[in-house]
Amino acid sequence: MAAIDMKNIVKKYGDGFPAVNDVSIDVADGEFMILVGPSGCGKSTLLRMIVGLEDITSGDMMIGDKRVNDLAPRDRNLAMVFQNYALYPHLTVYENIAFPLRLAKAPDAEVDEKVRAASKTLELDEHLERKPGNLSGGQRQRVAMGRAIVREADAFLFDEPLSNLDAKLRGQMRTEISRLQKRLGITTVYVTHDQTEAMTLGDRVAVLKRGVLQQLATPRELYENPGNLFVAGFIGSPPMNFLPATVEGTTVKLPFGTVEIPAEKAAKAEGKGLLMAGIRPEYFEDASVKTDPGNGSTFRAKVDVVEWLGNETYAYIPFEAPPEVEEQLRQLERDLDGEALHTQLVVSLDGASRITEGEEAEIWVDGSKIHLFDPASGDNLTVDRERAGRIPGGAMEDAAEQPAAAG
Amino acid sequence: MAMSRTRNKIGTWVGFIVILVWCLLPVAWIVSLSFKGPGETASGSPQFLPKNPTLQNFRDILGIGSVTPGQENTHADFLDALRNSFGIAAIATVLAVIFATLAAYAIARLEFKGKRLVLSLALAIAMFPVVALVGPLFDLWRTLHLFNTWPGLIIPYMSFTLPLAIWTLSAFFREIPWEMEQAAQVDGATSWQAFRKVIVPLAAPGVFTAAILTFFFAWNEFVLAISLTSTTESRTVPAQLSFFVGPDPFNPPYGLLAAASVVVTVPIIIIVLLFQRKIVAGLTSGAVKG
């Protein structure tokens, strides 16, 4: 068991392209850390640098108190589960799990005891004599985990372990991994591109974009206080809505109407011209269903498409965005691996809502939860730094000075 | 519908039989010849099946029981040649497979300058006509005292089979996902352990294919065998067969030759049957699922 401390890690490939650029992440002993981001963000590279399968260009990789930059994978005492499981097809499940112990020249009795214990934990007892080729995806996944837990490794590393499973199994295995990690209390680094896995599994989540750490925080902090447009768009499903906005006093002017926001938020965005407002779909509600309007505002808009899911309803409201915002939104879509779609507002309404397609509906929105972003830099102007974890980079200093300047 | 299916079936079987006859008739002919006495093989119009089947040919070449007068030394020479064939083919195979495995692994896994050159050179060697090398080799081997020795044949056999073995094996190694070795290394294996315990077992069909192709080549090779040997010290069976002469130079002992051919074909058939499934896997796919 050990903490993993990454200090200013850089990975440059032969062509000088930095796949990972100055990333610092500290994983506490026993912590479940998630590395998340769209494809090509460097999360897998970072994981492979921890385990030693990828050279580190510069920076320090500390496991426990030891600098491991130049150690071979076998000397780092880490266990890893690969995306395609990497089971040894010529060995039985038993021998697959026993493989690390056999390499360590453990006596047969000890091997047997540990393998049986691992197989019991993972409910693999009846499959021990089978070959991996005859197992289902979920079973293979469990064998891969068995091979990891059978040794007393300092940490577990997972590289997108659930991406090859179907949706239902993925959900089950997710809980299984979470339960296992809690029980063993072992330091874990888990790479995924799936924000649901990131939110549900992680004690803390590191969001990466093109090799740069965007924000390192708990799932709740990421959700409620995203540091920039990218994090805001990446975390949450359906994703946050981004609308062109201008602030006048304590009112925000949106394409559909004006919304009142708290004074301290308005102060941070004062005199910034055209901004980008970020509102999560669930901050909206059908005004006719909302019994207690509280400190929200209402506006009227024509609903284009309605998707009724039983417990909730998604309504889609198209809007026109000025070119500069439009460009920023398209760029964001590309960063998030998405397709550039037309600008629309997605609102999540109560399942009881009776709004129909083509109808002009009255929608309520919670103004206190609106975030305002600088469209040029993407920084969140209204971020609550106390509850946003760590947001590295120049953006931090800029934004940190803002309240002082404005106040 | 049923009609066309039956017709299809009949067609398949006809095709089957044609191919079988095409391939096996010469073999059957040799087998039948090996049971014929000298009187029958020398007659003007021999029939397919022996009139008076005899085991005399086998007795002569293996030296069991009474031997035809004039063939007293044949069996000793033949058994020597058989021993040479086995030894030379086996050693050449083992060495070629070991070298090819290591070389192919390096080619499949490492990025180094001149990798393409190595591969193209290997292919060029395989294309080189054997006959063109016989003269120079003969001179060279005499100077180096390798003429008429086992190493004198093992070395050229290895050189000629290595390219094919390297190409086959490197294709196999490329199919094996990198993650297999990486997983092994994370599990605590050294590079050598990862190679020996994970990669080689996974490439087993390729290793078998390479081994069998090498063995066949060395077992059947004639030109080098006849040119680089002078006595039964190191002469292999294909070369030795050309020294089988009867009392009459115009009447080669066909029955004897046929019997010897049958005897040397048996090991090949046994090997093929034993490793049949592995060879098929090796030749067809090379797909090793992670």
Model confidence pLDDT, tens digit, residues A264-306: 888 888 878 888 899 999 999 888 888 777 778 888 888 989 9
Q: Identify the structural domains of chain B with CATH numbers, from first to last.
A: 79-239+260-284 (1.10.3720.10)
Q: Identify the burial level of A309 via C-beta atoms within 10 angstroms of its C-beta, where 0-12 means exposed, 13-18 middle and 19 or more buried.
A: exposed
Of the pLDDT bands very low, low, confident and very high (cuts 50, 70, 90), residue B45 is low
Q: Is the pLDDT at B287 greater than 70, yes or no?
A: no
Of the pLDDT bands very low, low, confident and very high (cuts 50, 70, 90), residue A407 is very low
Q: Is the pLDDT at A182 greater than 80, yes or no?
A: yes
pLDDT per residue as tens digits for the range A351-387: 888 888 888 888 899 888 899 998 888 889 888 888 8
Backbone angles phi, psi at A139, to 5 degrees: -65, -40
- How many CB pairs below 8 A link A and B? 64
B70 Cβ under 8 Å from any chain A Cβ: no
Residues A123 and A260 both lie in one domain:
no
Output the pLDDT for position A52: 92
A73/B290 touch (CB, cutoff 8 Å), yes or no: no
Say if residues A187 and A202 touch (Cβ distance below 8 Å): no
Q: Is the pLDDT at A404 greater than 60, yes or no?
A: no
CA distance A180 to A123: 12
Residues A29 and A95 both lie in one domain:
yes
B188 Cβ under 8 Å from any chain A Cβ: yes
Residues A232 and A307 both lie in one domain:
yes
Residues of B in contact with A163 (CB under 8 A): none
Domain limit, last residue, from A199, A222, A245: A222
A147/B187 touch (CB, cutoff 8 Å), yes or no: yes
Residues of A in contact with B207 (CB under 8 A): none
Q: How far B168 CA sits from the closest chain A CA (Å)? A: 20
Q: What is the count of structural domains for chain A?
A: 2
Average pLDDT over residues B54-80: 82
Residues A127 and A257 both lie in one domain:
no
Q: Is the pLDDT at A206 greater than 90, yes or no?
A: yes
Q: Within 13 Å and on the Cβ side, how many CA atoms surround B59? A: 12
A133/B289 touch (CB, cutoff 8 Å), yes or no: yes
Output the pLDDT for position B2: 65
Residues of A in contact with B199 (CB under 8 A): none
| Residue in B179, B190, B201 nearest the CB of A86 | B179
CA distance A380 to A100: 47
CA distance B235 to B213: 21
B198 Cβ under 8 Å from any chain A Cβ: yes
Domain limit, last residue, from A222, A247, A270: A222
pLDDT per residue as tens digits for the range A84-101: 888 988 889 999 999 999
Output the pLDDT for position A129: 92
Output the pLDDT for position B278: 67
A104/B188 touch (CB, cutoff 8 Å), yes or no: yes
CA distance B223 to B180: 43
Residues A212 and A231 both lie in one domain:
no
Residues of B in contact with A80 (CB under 8 A): 183, 186
| Residue in B183, B187, B201 nearest the CB of A90 | B201
Residues A217 and A285 both lie in one domain:
no
Output the pLDDT for position A8: 92
Backbone angles phi, psi at A161, to 5 degrees: -70, -20
Of the pLDDT bands very low, low, confident and very high (cuts 50, 70, 90), residue B122 is confident
Residues of B in contact with A86 (CB under 8 A): 177, 179-180, 182-183, 290
Complex ipTM, two decimals? 0.79
3-state helix, strand, coil in chain A (%, to 5): 35, 30, 35
Average pLDDT over residues A229-255: 88
Q: What is the DSSP string of B199-268?
A: IHHHTHHHHHHHHHHHHHHHHH--HHHHHS--STTT--HHHHHTT---SSTTS--HHHHHHHHHHHHHHH
Q: Identify the burial level of B67 via C-beta atoms within 10 angstroms of its C-beta, where 0-12 means exposed, 13-18 middle and 19 or more buried.
A: middle
Of the pLDDT bands very low, low, confident and very high (cuts 50, 70, 90), residue A155 is very high
Closest residue on chain A to B201 (Cα): A90
CA distance A61 to A75: 14
Q: Is the pLDDT at B285 greater than 70, yes or no?
A: no
A80/B190 touch (CB, cutoff 8 Å), yes or no: no
* Enclosing domain of residue A336: 227-406
Say if residues A155 and A32 touch (Cβ distance below 8 Å): no
The CATH number for A41's domain is 3.40.50.300
CA angle B105, B109, B115 (to 5 degrees): 85
Residues A156 and A262 both lie in one domain:
no
The A residues from 79 to 98 touching B (CB cutoff 8 Å) are 79-80, 82-90
Of A379-383, B111-115, B279-283, the one with minimum mean pLDDT is B279-283
Of the pLDDT bands very low, low, confident and very high (cuts 50, 70, 90), residue A340 is low
Angle between helices B204-220 and B150-175 (to 10 degrees): 150
Backbone angles phi, psi at A166, to 5 degrees: -80, 165
Of the pLDDT bands very low, low, confident and very high (cuts 50, 70, 90), residue B284 is very low
| Residue in B185, B190, B198 nearest the CB of A88 | B198
Output the pLDDT for position A16: 84
Nearest to A374 by CA among A229, A265, A264: A229
Higher pLDDT, A305 or A328: A305
Residues A215 and A105 both lie in one domain:
yes
Say if residues B73 and B54 touch (Cβ distance below 8 Å): no
Output the pLDDT for position A393: 61
- The residue written with tokens 């990421």 in the block is A222
Diameter of chain A measured on Cα atoms = 75
Q: Is the pLDDT at A207 greater than 90, yes or no?
A: yes
Output the pLDDT for position B1: 56
Residues A201 and A306 both lie in one domain:
no
Residues of B in contact with A131 (CB under 8 A): none
Residues A237 and A284 both lie in one domain:
yes
Residue A19: partners with Cβ closer than 8 Å, 6 or more residues away = A11, A12, A13, A42, A45, A211
Domain limit, last residue, from A194, A222, A250: A222
A103/B288 touch (CB, cutoff 8 Å), yes or no: no
A74 Cβ under 8 Å from any chain B Cβ: yes
B179/A72 touch (CB, cutoff 8 Å), yes or no: no
Q: In what order do the strands lie in the sheet with A241-248?
A: A257-260, A251-254, A241-248, A274-279, A371-373
Diameter of chain B measured on Cα atoms = 74
Residues A146 and A257 both lie in one domain:
no
B149 Cβ under 8 Å from any chain A Cβ: no
CA distance B290 to B284: 18
Higher pLDDT, B166 or B42: B166
A84/B188 touch (CB, cutoff 8 Å), yes or no: no
Region for residue B65 given its phi and psi (left: phi exceeds 0; alpha: psi -120 to 50; beta: otherwise): left
Closest residue on chain B to A150 (Cα): B187
Output the pLDDT for position B108: 87
Output the pLDDT for position A205: 94
CA distance A229 to B139: 79
Residues A145 and A291 both lie in one domain:
no
Of the pLDDT bands very low, low, confident and very high (cuts 50, 70, 90), residue A222 is very high
pLDDT per residue as tens digits for the range A122-138: 888 999 999 888 888 88
Determine the residue among A53, A55, A135 to mutate to test chain B binding: the one whose Cβ has the most chain B Cβ atoms within 10 Å: A53
CA distance B210 to B24: 25
Output the pLDDT for position B286: 37
Quick one: CA torsion of A242, A244, A248, A251, rounded to 10 degrees?
Answer: -40
Within 10 A of A24 (CB to CB), how many other CB atoms are there?
Answer: 16
B185 Cβ under 8 Å from any chain A Cβ: yes
Of the pLDDT bands very low, low, confident and very high (cuts 50, 70, 90), residue B18 is very high
